[in-house]
Structure 1
Amino acid sequence: AEPGGKRILCVGLVCLDIISVVEAYPAEDTDTRCLSQRWQRGGNASNSCTVLALLGAPCAFMGSLAPGHAADFVLADLRRRGVDVRHAVLQPGGHMPTSVVIASASRGTRTILHASGCVAALTLLSVPQVSSVSRPAQPPGQPDRVILRAGSGWGWGPTPAPPPRRATLICAWAEEGADAMGPGGELVHADACPPETLVDTLGAGDTFNAAVIFALSGGQSLQDALNFGCRIAGKKCGIQGYDGIV
């Protein structure tokens, strides 16, 4: 079901994750056989798109990619999930950001070695689908920011800071659950929902973020959204990858 009929745009990082699963972390300067190895699309915005799509939310990805086989792989995987990639920008040069992930099967933990790839950052004029939209001039030194306008399309414009009384602050604390302060200053807490066996924590934070956004977009209360985020993040920690979180 669509959350309130709204589309959700995720702007940010997409990268290639090369994940090697080992029984236990290898000692320095040793040779260890992997239990398995896989390529997986990663990056904060990209992972959130995956979770939103699995939850049934219509979503889109906006971010920079460098040309090459890795970009072909991540774009194909986004499309496989039903994510709108019309706003993804293939830059003319650079290298795709890549993370080498060592995952311990015995402990359910992971170590990440990330290479930024030197891909050009996304700018307003690098998005041809929206760069022609009329937008107010920003004060000197203030960047353009993307906003979601009501209706069927996206728009550009300055994003003013909301009044403090309308702000919502959410903090996730892993095994300690999550806390939030609502628009009226109310404090809410949700307990973590750890799986029986910890399997894969890679992307758990992105899963929590996406699940909370999904719930809030559907009109759920802050407390219910926090509970939902912890529950879905806990399910993700009990499986490899993302299939099976719903």
Structure 2
Amino acid sequence: MTSNPETGFRENEVIDDDFSPTKSDVSKILCVGRICLDIVQMCEQFPAEDSTQRSIDCRWQRGGNASNTCTVLSLLGQSCELLACLSADEHVNFMQDDLYKYKIDYSHCPIIKGIGCPISTIILSLNTGTRTIIYHNQNLPELTIKNFEQLNLAEYSWVHFEGRNIDEMLLMIKHIENYNKSLNGTHDCSKKCMPITISVELENPRSSLRLLNLLSYIDVVFIAKDFAKNQGFNNMKEVIHTIGQDAKLRGAIICAWAEEGAIARTPCGAIVQSSAFPPHKVIDTLGAGDTFNAAVLYYLNKSKVKFIYKCKEAVYANDNKLCDDSTISKQDIKQKNFDIKNLEYSRIKFIDEIVLQRAIKLACRIAGAKVGSRGYDCLDKIFNHIL
């Protein structure tokens, strides 16, 4: 098979037939964090200090890690919701219109009056492929547990957090834990309740120690390259062999390392890796990490929903002695060491070597394609191309 120079993907290569975005929708992914306004200037080269230079492209776009992650999830066909504080300043209509354009639910976002929207000014250098970010925040409040408690958790199968506002985030995580515990003993397959898997992105070096203390509460952890380097790690293999190995981490750990690809460890300790898929030409690296995270979340969430539905069928069949017609046979159940009473409420049993390796490989491909394109709007077409 030959490679497509536009996407870096091999022609006619299929990731998984069951993962078509045209299939029936699954429970939503909720992304909790920050939204801001990005003012992006693309230059041939980074400007010298105290100079004047023309840019070759300029755009405004909605930014922020959680916000960007939602954009990519929606383009991949995944129902999602953003929970972030929105400023009621002159930019609010632009933000809301853009969220609506990308079919991102923002109905629970608190609207804050009297404080301006956070703004990022970004300079993209075509010469080096770098992106330089100057961030300004006028102290827009962070989300609180009261904001989170307004949600109906039954709507979500996954909640993804930016690693920020740690005290309130921990309260939100405990709120999810209480919800998951309330599902124990509920075996009615007609109900659409689903345990919520929790993931978090560790990116902010300033809160590194406190973020690492969250590992025992998290199902899937994304370690950003900048965060890892601040911790003294020189490459992604050092990260995967060190962080969480002291039994603090109960789930999976994932680390992307730009042009070196990504590496991940399953809850059982198996390590998988994917090479990078660089584009023919680097155009726009802004949001590449958010794109990678979103693609992983997309694949893992779809895998989880598929897994749990099969398990519910097995529970129903076992209770009614109809295993001969079940999607999962008694032999399958025995081989996988399933706990019938509690399986449908496990949030991480579906993350095996095959699922995790496919997830990071897909994510590396989509992130590579994003780097070779302006913004995000190409990603849905690229994703459909590789299915």
**2:172 corresponds to which letter in structure 1?**
R
What does residue 172 of structure 2 align with? Answer: 145
1:83-162 pair list within 5 angstroms: 83-126=104-147, 129-130=150-151, 143-146=170-173, 147=176, 151=192, 161=217
Q: CA deviation at 1:107?
A: 2.8
What does residue 319 of structure 2 align with? Answer: none
| Preserved CA contact (<8 Å) 2:266 2:356 | yes
1:152–1:21: structure 2 CA closer, same or farther, 3 Å change rule? farther
What does residue 367 of structure 2 align with? Answer: 233
Q: CA deviation at 1:8?
A: 0.4
What does residue 202 of structure 1 align with? Answer: 286
**Aligned with 2:276 (options 192, 197, 201):** 192
Q: Please, which moves more after superposition, 81-90 or 53-62?
A: 81-90
Distance 2:376 2:217 in 1: 34
What does residue 224 of structure 2 align with? Answer: none
1:19-34 pair list within 5 angstroms: 19-34=40-55
Q: CA deviation at 1:153?
A: 10
Q: CA deviation at 1:152?
A: 7.0
What does residue 29 of structure 2 align with? Answer: 8
Q: CA deviation at 1:89?
A: 1.2
Distance 1:83 1:107 in 2: 33
The answer to whether residue 221 in structure 2 is matched with residue 221 in structure 1 is: no
**2:285 corresponds to which letter in structure 1?**
T
Secondary structure of 1:114's partner?
strand
Structure 1 residue ranges (4+ consecutive) displaced by more than 6 angstroms after TM superposition: 152-155
The answer to whether residue 66 in structure 2 is matched with residue 45 in structure 1 is: yes
Relative to total residues, which structure has the larger helix share, 1 or 2? 2
What TM-score results when the alignment is normalised by the length of structure 1? 0.86
1:152–1:15: structure 2 CA closer, same or farther, 3 Å change rule? farther
**2:171 corresponds to which letter in structure 1?**
D
What does residue 85 of structure 2 align with? Answer: 64
What does residue 320 of structure 2 align with? Answer: none
What does residue 138 of structure 1 align with? Answer: none
| Preserved CA contact (<8 Å) 1:4 1:218 | no
Q: CA deviation at 1:108?
A: 2.5
Query: What is the total number of aligned residue pairs between the two structures?
Result: 235
What TM-score results when the alignment is normalised by the length of structure 2? 0.56
**1:48 corresponds to which letter in structure 2?**
T
| Preserved CA contact (<8 Å) 1:207 1:236 | yes
| Preserved CA contact (<8 Å) 1:61 1:85 | yes
Q: CA deviation at 1:104?
A: 1.4
Relative to total residues, which structure has the larger strand share, 1 or 2? 1
**1:102 corresponds to which letter in structure 2?**
I
What does residue 137 of structure 1 align with? Answer: none
1:159-174 pair list within 5 angstroms: 161=217, 164=247, 166-174=250-258
Secondary structure of 1:221's partner?
helix
**1:244 corresponds to which letter in structure 2?**
C
Q: Please, which moves more after superposition, 145-154 or 221-230?
A: 145-154
Q: CA deviation at 1:80?
A: 0.5
**2:369 corresponds to which letter in structure 1?**
K
Unaligned runs of at least 5 residues, structure 1: 134-140
| Preserved CA contact (<8 Å) 2:296 2:359 | yes
| Preserved CA contact (<8 Å) 2:300 2:359 | yes
| Preserved CA contact (<8 Å) 1:22 1:35 | yes
Q: CA deviation at 1:64?
A: 0.7
The answer to whether residue 90 in structure 2 is matched with residue 79 in structure 1 is: no
| Preserved CA contact (<8 Å) 1:93 1:119 | no
Q: Please, which moves more after superposition, 2-11 or 108-117?
A: 2-11
Distance 1:103 1:118 in 2: 26
Q: Deviations over 1:39-86 (max 9, x none)?
A: 011100000000000000000000111111222211210110000111
Unaligned runs of at least 5 residues, structure 2: 1-20, 155-166, 184-191, 197-213, 220-246, 304-353, 383-387
Q: CA deviation at 1:3?
A: 8.2
**1:161 corresponds to which letter in structure 2?**
Y
1:222–1:153: structure 2 CA closer, same or farther, 3 Å change rule? closer
1:4–1:216: structure 2 CA closer, same or farther, 3 Å change rule? farther
**2:66 corresponds to which letter in structure 1?**
A
